[in-house]
Structure 1
């Protein structure tokens, strides 16, 4: 009883603000909630987006509603919808667009990465309008006889596979500036297998080439027989162009305040405890933390556990937990019926990835984490 009383006393005056409701944000929110912390989770949308399923939501009508999970049903009054425009470390406040100010004793930044739709959907939007945006886009895919996917990183590879699996009769071309596909952190054999699966499904590959006039082309809208040229002189016509390039750290919320603590790419420099360098009460979690590992939901969740543990440890006067990177675990869904990947640095059989990730895209985990029932 005494231990519980002293634990509650240590939480007096503590209010943790979590900026960003992605995988790291909801993991932090749930840990804070179960630990009895006063906290505020802030996100520009009113629903968590299970981003790994965004590509299937783009091609499979009716799927999008499973990929958005309302925050308020899970976090109640601890959730605030808004866009953070500035952090003031002197007054220990975050300032939202429109002027709302929220005080913090500790701050966890989980702002993630930004990029092009449909792979990313970092837009101020309601749950219903977000779903509708994906439904509308799936109609564009349906209307196209041929699709060009630009970018052969993991997102582009999965996008091409999703379209070709759902619509095997469509012509799908994937263009990539490098020869090897998918993430460089993956084993060479896994990257080769990703290429093999795409070819097996009938995706045409243009490797070692860039689209010359990408900025001038209309993306995500079906326009029959659009002409595209590459830097190698290849010309092709397509009905729909989807860009899967240009991911960048989403630093807008903190850039004005932490310029001295930012890496060149906009991520925040952190120490082994995931504290932003020079700021012991501020933590960076997930993609916005400058940690040398692939940007993945799995890692964001691990970061969140460390950050919340260290807030608790610092209040108790206990030693802080260190975050250690491990061997790369990454699974690529190649449509609902296939996949490639590795676990702890070891290549996995395709059928295992298909069973483990591709069928449901791990949606069950997010619905369970949010303690809600999947529709």
Structure 2
């Protein structure tokens, strides 16, 4: 992005959401010496790429949360954003606090069921404890049903079976093909082969009939799960890995005219929200046709911050272009499948690239903190 922009009077960038995109934006704003405030409802960044490992491996969760204040100091504010006042250019937090902005970067991400997602107001200690408590539920269960065979469900089933090979694990998926539709068919088939090799039982082309009546994430021995085709399974623990939705609560009252049907914000090629030149959407809440991934959120953040800097310098704005899909699925610490730039990768390369450490080293390095 070139040299620093010395702090400009009246410039204050507010970043809403401290996920991968928000942290990347804050880091780049900091390196540019621009005034900014990062707002998140937790006091620690959640490296949720590793959340599934943290839900099966005791002691792992503390490595997946990184305190914001240690990196960003007074530029971090903990709170839940209730709305954006466009006319007054303020972000309004629960409790009434207001934060003024000249530029706004919305990085609110997606929400979904625990343990894959953990979008809750929480401290570092309570966040870690929530995952530690869940590992005990997994340990207490002799059998587990994972509902949903997208990428999260595939990784969840593999993590449980890797950590607890003695447990019966059944994956129920409404479609025949597993994992993300953006993946090469050969990679999706390979994910199925890895699950079968690990001993995961697959029930494909089936939907759970009584999911709304079932207690999730708590071990209840001999719970009955029924499918729409009339099959009945008995299990001790049910983990749901379906139902991701765009987390639009912070902005939906102010940006309804700029929202897509799924709650994401419509953006132009510069990632500016439709109708605004000083407001950007980054990551999962941006209506960009590509898989929702941490990697893409970080690329978006670079474009958004570049464009804030370029606008201040009177330079031409940068455009964001989608590329060939790069996606790695960690299937336990000892296996994985994936592709790089549209080309299938050897499983051993995925293990080295992601599965062993789940890229935790990268987040700790970027936050300039020491991993415990």
Gaps of 5+ in 1: none
**In the TM superposition, what are the counterparts of 1:24-173 in structure 2 within 5 Å?**
24-173=21-170
- Select 1:8's aligned residue among 6, 31, 37: 6
- Select 2:221's aligned residue among 219, 224, 228: 224
1:262-285 deviation digits (Å, cap 9, x = unpaired): 000000000000000101100000
Q: Please state how far the C-alpha of 1:8 moved relative to its aligned partner.
A: 2.5
1:282-310 deviation digits (Å, cap 9, x = unpaired): 00000000000000000000000000000
Counterpart Cα distance in 2 of 1:210 and 1:263? 27
TM-score (normalised: structure 1): 0.98
The answer to whether 1:286 aligns with 2:283 is yes
Match of 1:364 in 2: 361
Counterpart Cα distance in 1 of 2:323 and 2:49? 21
Match of 1:301 in 2: 298
Query: Any idea what SS the aligned residue of 2:18 has?
Result: coil
Gaps of 5+ in 2: none
Q: Please state how far the C-alpha of 1:13 moved relative to its aligned partner.
A: 1.1
Match of 2:250 in 1: 253
Query: Any idea what SS the aligned residue of 1:264 has?
Result: coil
Counterpart Cα distance in 1 of 2:204 and 2:234? 17
Q: Please state how far the C-alpha of 1:232 moved relative to its aligned partner.
A: 1.1
Query: Any idea what SS the aligned residue of 1:322 has?
Result: coil
The answer to whether 1:212 aligns with 2:209 is yes
Counterpart Cα distance in 2 of 1:89 and 1:314? 19
TM-score (normalised: structure 2): 0.99
Q: Please state how far the C-alpha of 1:233 moved relative to its aligned partner.
A: 1.1
- Select 2:271's aligned residue among 270, 274, 295: 274
* Shift >4 Å, 4+ stretches: none
Matched positions, count: 370
Question: Does structure 1 conserve the Cα–Cα contact (< 8 Å) formed by 2:6 and 2:32?
Answer: no
Counterpart Cα distance in 2 of 1:264 and 1:185? 21
Counterpart Cα distance in 2 of 1:8 and 1:117? 42
Counterpart Cα distance in 1 of 2:224 and 2:231? 11
Query: Any idea what SS the aligned residue of 1:8 has?
Result: coil
Query: Any idea what SS the aligned residue of 2:309 has?
Result: helix
Query: Any idea what SS the aligned residue of 2:39 has?
Result: strand
Counterpart Cα distance in 1 of 2:363 and 2:250? 25
